[in-house]
Structure 1
Amino acid sequence: MSPGGKKRTACVTGGNGYIASALVRMLLEKGYAVKTTVRNPDDMAKNSHLKDLQALGPLEVFRADLDEEGSFDEAVAGCDYAFLVAAPVNIHAKNPEKELIEPAVRGTLNVLRSCVKAGTVKRVVLTSSAAAVTSRPLQGDGHVLDEDSWSDVEHLTATKSPYRGYPVSKVLLERAACRFAEEHGISLVTLCPVVTVGAAPAPNAHTSVPNCLSLLSGDEAAFAVLHGIERGTGCIPLVHVEDLCRAELFAAEEDAGAAGRYICCSLNTTIAELARVLADKYPHYGVKTHLLSGERLEKPRVCLSSAKLVKQGFEFKYKTLEHIYDDMVEYGKALGILPS
């Protein structure tokens, strides 16, 4: 409750997404009134969970599109906090500049303009990604990456990496958001989550969940993404979706101290270590060892540090692989990634 006894109100963009759906649920459980946005509220295949979440508290669903200026005005009006979670994710874009990078920056600024118009938003929490931190050439082992680390846009653009769109879009939207916030006096905090796992209300998870279950499912395309993360980053950095949502809320409610960007990572691991833990934890599925041929990292070459977040007073709940994977298999079965 706010001091006047009125429920605090939060806007979460992209409510049918994996992370946003978990954040909407947590905010409702914490007593917030929530307004969320989707591109097509009538698409029940993507939005049915939002109807279920309305049983937890006041949740309004608005139509909004990142490409349409002003379309977030109604959803943000009267809100105390705005959580910018919606973003284009097409990592296989044929033309990353036009299909991913420009829409990501434009969409972020569209929502921020709505926050300025609202005049009530005390803080904006922008969800970026560790992809804005880790995509850079690394020599040697033992690197610790923190909030001062940025993905190398010039290197990614020069090498014409086919996957450059996602990390470049995250760096550029972060920088554009920071400039805009400074110019318009907005209190902006950015979270850079690593590979996010765990159960969420969303009935679809096209993100890291299938990748992180690929050792059990045997899905070679999903495993190739996981392998690409380890090769490109130097580790598999993980965070449970509940811890990420708790960090989002922490960043919003931390009246004085929260500022700048925060890496949200509770554990740095490798595919080899993940395979050992999953083989032990889920023997009835069995790890698909044919995926593990070739050289494997035994220890992370790189660690992503959440020291800044922890120093601020945040504590991770899920700190071991066993704990982080606690609800993943049930969620995987619900999503059809794993057999029941």
Structure 2
Amino acid sequence: MASAAAPAAGDARRKTACVTGGSGYIASELIKMLLQNGYAVKTTVRHPEDTEKNAHLKVLQELGPLEVFRADLDEEGSFDDAVAGCDYAFLVAAPVALMPQNPEKEVIEPAVRGTVNVLRSCAKAGTMKRVVLTSSTAAVSSRPLEGDGHVLGEESWSDVDWLRANKIGTWAYPASKVLAEKAANEFAEANGLSVVTLLPVVAVGAAPATELHTSVPEVLSLLSGDDAMVDNLELIEKASGGIPLVHVDDVCRAEIFLAENQASSGRYVCCSLNTTAIELARFLAAKYPQYKIKTDRIGHLPEKPRVRISSGKLADEGFEYRYKNLDEIYDDVVVYGRALGILPY
């Protein structure tokens, strides 16, 4: 894909950012926001020839200078061209293997290797002011927690030894997030790179990408009546001790905030509210009565979150969420769900 027009003569040099995984959900919204903020953007996809999956990138090129590069997390050096000359890099791409036969080989090792491969290219570029690694609060909350009333933030790490010993559900995903983050920190320290980590909770809301592997169908499942997705929503609550939500717009604003705020360091949880499936069901039944929500479907679940995810560190540094309650979040998600055909009307 050709890049869009360069800045007009006489303009100050545009800040340039690389966003890995441009065909993905968060990455597509981040690219859009960076372009709207006047950045020149370079993004990577594994299969540039997949015009259907990458159609949104063609549309985004109308917003500003966007170049698309082929790169693969498993190929060392394949990100060199994409990060060359960039001021910032946003590492959003991650290996996706939902039902791996060998979790260590298919999820954990590729996540660590891929993260270090991109960072190696960033170090080689020599122009990088800040790298933002997008992880997940799966790297915070996957640990044995007895009882209720837990509040987890940046100081909490998921327990990789416990995950490997018990192998419950999609255990390799949180393990991979912890190990990739720690590998990133080690590489950054050894090579003089400035790396911070953003740890979003369940991200929802409209984004340019339409081929989704996200939690949007789950958070709409009580409206759509999709039993399999309701089961997934229940699994999220059981795994997390609640349903922590954040709008994808706020995730991307936090990404840019951490890139531009040179005082930021370490890891940052990104969560605007903590709820439960029962609270969601009651809220949605009142707001969208036309969907005939069956609240008894999840009536056995707890009323209140057993675990709350705290985002105090971001707030302390001056970041403000735009989407702070269920009303604001679902107004947007429902429209998006209808557009994608997840909701019938």
- Paired residues of 1:216 and 1:287 also in contact (CA < 8 A): yes
1:118-197 aligned at under 5 Å gives the runs 118-197=125-204
Contact kept in structure 2, 1:218 and 1:291, CA below 8 Å: no
Aligned AA for 1:339?
Answer: P
The one of 44, 51, 60 aligned to 2:51? 44
Give the match for residue 318 of structure 1.
Answer: 323
Specify the code of the residue in structure 1 equivalent to 2:291. Y
Q: Secondary structure at the match of 1:46?
A: coil
Question: Which residue is 2:216 aligned to?
Answer: 209
Tell me if the contact between 2:278 and 2:295 (Cα under 8 Å) persists in the aligned partners: no
- Residues 171-180 or 160-169, more deviating: 160-169
Q: Paired residue for 1:269?
A: 275
Q: 1:219 aligns with which of 220, 226, 246?
A: 226
Identity rate, percent: 68
In the TM superposition, what whole-angstrom CA distance separates every residue of 1:141-175 from its partner, at most 9, and x where no partner exists? 11110101011111110112231110000000000
The match for 1:339 is 344
Q: 1:11 to 1:175 in 2, by over 3 A?
A: same
1:251-330 equivalence runs, <5 A: 251-255=258-262, 257-289=263-295, 291-293=297-299, 295-330=300-335
- Partners of 1:198 and 1:302 lie apart in 2 by 23
Tell me the matched-pair count: 336
Give CA-to-partner distance per residue, 1:93-128, whole Å, 9 cap, x none.
121111111011111011000001110111000000
CA distance in 1, matches of 2:219, 2:148: 24
Q: Partner amino acid for 1:318?
A: Y
Q: Which residue of 2 aligns with 1:8?
A: 15
Deviations 1:271-329, CA, capped at 9 Å, x for gaps: 00111111122122222446324x12111111110001100110111110111112111
| Alpha-carbon separation, structure 2, partners of 1:328 and 1:178 | 34
Q: 2:29 aligns with which of 18, 22, 26?
A: 22
**Which deviates more from structure 2 when the two are superposed, residues 329-338 or residues 165-174?**
329-338
Find the aligned partners of 2:169 and 2:25 in 1 and give their Cα distance: 25
Distance 2:126 2:232 in 1: 41
Describe the SS at the equivalent of 2:21: coil
Deviation of the 1:339 alpha carbon: 1.1
Aligned partners of 1:22 and 1:201 also within 8 Å? yes
In 2, distance between residues paired with 1:290 and 1:17? Answer: 34
Residues 55-76 of structure 1: CA distance to partner in whole angstroms, max 9, x if unpaired?
1000001101111111100000
Once residues 242 and 281 of structure 1 are traced to their aligned partners in structure 2, the CA distance between those partners, rounded to angstroms, is 22
Are the aligned partners of 1:220 and 1:291 in contact in 2 as well (CA < 8 Å)?
no
| Matching of residues 63-102 of structure 1 within 5 Å | 63-102=70-109
Q: Which amino acid aligns with 1:143?
A: H
- Give 1:235 deviation, angstroms: 0.8
Please give the alpha-carbon distance, in whole angstroms, between the structure 2 residues aligned to 1:226 and 1:189: 29
C-alpha contact (below 8 Å) 2:87/2:129 kept by paired residues: yes
Cα offset for 1:247? 0.3
- Structure 1: distance between partners of 2:185 and 2:14: 29
1:233 Cα deviation from its structure 2 partner: 1.4
1:231 aligns with 238
Alignment partners' CA distance in 2, 1:195 and 1:71: 30
Question: Are the equivalent residues in 2 in contact too, given 1:10–1:81 (CA < 8 A)?
Answer: yes
Look up the SS of the partner of 1:148 in the other structure: coil
Deviations 1:171-220 (A, max 9, x none): 00000000000000000010000000000000122211111111111222
Q: Distance in 1 between matches of 2:287 and 2:56?
A: 29
